[in-house]
Structure 1
């Protein structure tokens, strides 16, 4: 249902899809940005005067042309590229009508209100399904549409704690700095956004055969339990309750950080051949001993092996180790900060950093950034590559454009809605 992309290059894989985005913060917007990067026309509905919560989650803030802080938080840019921002107050009957009309012209709707929160506005799945049976409606909540916790609000940090993820993240209790630790980004929100993207693509494919949309129930807690992966499987099948091991791996040794002459490096030795090649390159013969020859033996004798390896790794700088091992197929690398990561030649060669101009039509008293940098989509499709069409928008940047082009409203009608504080 989307208007075809105006790009002169290849069309995005989803350039025929329109998405109505009623989500805020990270999980839902991460999903809709994925769809937008693949060409979908994403219309982001925001509350007039306030917008997405993350517009205010700063510092850090965008800077203007003079290098001064604006009022817009950088957080928002991470998950709202390629979208059109429309301000509508869904608490008003007229606002609800506008959203229903847009839903009738959309293929997908994504929302992350509390369970049942949109029913009072007539914007729940059953209400919109009656108007548009082909609509794929994705609800993202903390705990899902069913179960005793369904009414609760859920945030990434809370779910990291409840799922057990924090219990296996961080240093062990007996070590300095030991204790449960959250992951450095909102990883459950991000995983939920990715799973939601996958579910939506599956529903689109199913609709090709059935002609019908469907409701997708995405819960942060469900996702968190799923991505425990091998740690969860170890508990389910062997009864093991894993503990925090810092940067080490419960089942693979050596697979952690090591000290070097000028800092630290990361060794991720995943098999016996790699360990033997490391030993040969380092000029040691541990690879032939029974205590260290196999991974199972190395796990068993971890406490003996690791201190001996640390004595060896301290004898060279990080760069010297990387140079020594890079042609030996032994995974080794520096532990970068984010600035160093963006300066890495591999990152630069992959064009991860992308800049977009944004010509905002925001109120005169609102400082805005007109050039925004984001991390490129990692989705690399040869025939239908991801596209860059819209920079992360200013609040309500596309309101008039969308209401005129998609709903046929006149200038007088839009002015009237704005005067009544619907927009």
Structure 2
């Protein structure tokens, strides 16, 4: 069975996370992804701990960070300041469908590969450029790192209990990668009509602003600056994390019907003073939390969750990752991949979030490749170019 993108060749010149994640998303869908690394490798190859050590103590250590963002790729090493290696890249560009890069603005130009030259070499090429703060504007030349973007892009001002807090994963990088992959697929679709490639721009800042959602319109429309949301929804109540006797539980009364069902289950007057409507409950959130946690104080989490499930009220645990990865529901969705790494042997990775109706996972890709070792495919890729 053909994978969705099995006729697409992607040149991945990116490093760290945003760009590699975008390329990996296309690789998951069957694209051939050639990761072009400097002779010293992607920065994330040295980001640890933890590192995974193969049995051979003399073998190179593998970074779990790198492993998270580079499955389904081949790796070649090129020194893009070396004329001979620049020639190799030019030959790859001629054959590629997509080129992805996340250098600082102007770096690819200085290396001799401005967009104009890329399209001279290959008019059908789709170019993805991911930056920290945008490809133009007064701060375009700033380098972009995830935590900086979370702060500058406003997300940290919404996250935390008592002070701004970053999200526990590099969400600015991941969203930039997802947006980039989305833009590339749209450009490839357009190319089917026009025969021409185009440049797709996105940034870490754009990803942050793009997910402000109702918090953003709270400012743009209502001129109210939102603050730290903590563990509760700023616009709905009760909707958040509540303490029981044994562990926190999450409860989401996202409609009046659900609030009434919750109130009936725990003998609360749903039309009581201060709790009758969602605006009232939001205004009196602290008092509502106190009432609910008082009712849950003598109950263990499992009992609370069972009662809420029976009442039809959405609720859930706060799971640690080891619990998530052993959960039957996670396993039933095929969200983990088993691959055979060239030095580590069998390893398990978080996989693609997509499933399609004619194949269980990942757009028809029947097998997945482990993240490559540095330069693992140097000889194979050069031989392929020579055969052309």
> How far did residue 67 of structure 1 move?
10
2:198 paired residue number: 214
> How far did residue 65 of structure 1 move?
4.4
1:381 paired residue number: 356
Aligned to 2:107, the other structure's residue is in SS state coil
1:83 paired residue number: 73
1:31 aligns with 2:22: yes
Q: Deviations over 1:182-240 (max 9, x none)?
A: 11111011111111111001101111111100011111112211111111111000101
1:46 aligns with 2:29: no
Query: Root-mean-square deviation (CA), in Å?
Result: 1.8
Q: Is the 8 A contact 1:372 1:392 kept in 2?
A: no
Q: Is the 8 A contact 2:271 2:277 kept in 1?
A: no
> How far did residue 344 of structure 1 move?
1.9
Q: Deviations over 1:101-126 (max 9, x none)?
A: 10110000000001110112222211
1:117 paired residue number: 107
Segments of 5+ residues of structure 2 without an aligned counterpart are none
Aligned to 2:36, the other structure's residue is in SS state strand
Whole-Å Cα distance in 2 between the matches of residues 323 and 159 of structure 1?
40
The TM-score with structure 1 as length reference comes to 0.87
Segments of 5+ residues of structure 1 without an aligned counterpart are 1-9, 172-177, 360-367, 410-423
Q: Pick the aligned partner of 2:82 from 92, 96, 99.
A: 92
1:320 aligns with 2:303: yes
Q: Deviations over 1:300-342 (max 9, x none)?
A: 2212211000101222111111112223331111111111221
Q: Is the 8 A contact 1:82 1:390 kept in 2?
A: yes
1:101 paired residue number: 91
> How far did residue 156 of structure 1 move?
1.0
Aligned to 1:109, the other structure's residue is in SS state strand
1:334 aligns with 2:317: yes
Q: Is the 8 A contact 1:355 1:372 kept in 2?
A: yes
- The worse-fitting range, judged by mean Cα deviation, of 301-310 and 340-349 is 340-349
2:222 paired residue number: 238
Aligned to 2:241, the other structure's residue is in SS state strand
Q: For residues 18-417 of structure 1, what are the structure 2 equivalents within 5 Å? A: 18-48=9-39, 50-65=40-55, 71-171=61-161, 178-282=162-266, 284-289=267-272, 291-359=274-342, 368-383=343-358, 385-386=361-362, 387=365, 388-408=367-387
Q: Deviations over 1:147-175 (max 9, x none)?
A: 1111111111111111111111111xxxx
Q: Is the 8 A contact 1:43 1:85 kept in 2?
A: yes
Aligned to 1:287, the other structure's residue is in SS state coil
Aligned to 1:286, the other structure's residue is in SS state coil
> How far did residue 18 of structure 1 move?
0.6
Q: Is the 8 A contact 2:54 2:61 kept in 1?
A: no
Whole-Å Cα distance in 2 between the matches of residues 226 and 375 of structure 1?
25
Q: Deviations over 1:331-371 (max 9, x none)?
A: 11111111122122211222322210123xxxxxxxx4222
Whole-Å Cα distance in 2 between the matches of residues 65 and 382 of structure 1?
40
> How far did residue 245 of structure 1 move?
2.7
In structure 2, do the counterparts of structure 1 residues 228 and 68 end up closer, same or farther at CA, with 3 Å as the change threshold?
Answer: farther
Q: Is the 8 A contact 1:61 1:70 kept in 2?
A: no
In structure 2, do the counterparts of structure 1 residues 183 and 68 end up closer, same or farther at CA, with 3 Å as the change threshold?
Answer: farther
Aligned to 2:193, the other structure's residue is in SS state helix
Q: Is the 8 A contact 2:153 2:209 kept in 1?
A: yes
Aligned to 2:221, the other structure's residue is in SS state helix
The TM-score with structure 2 as length reference comes to 0.95
Q: Is the 8 A contact 2:132 2:149 kept in 1?
A: yes
> How far did residue 374 of structure 1 move?
0.6
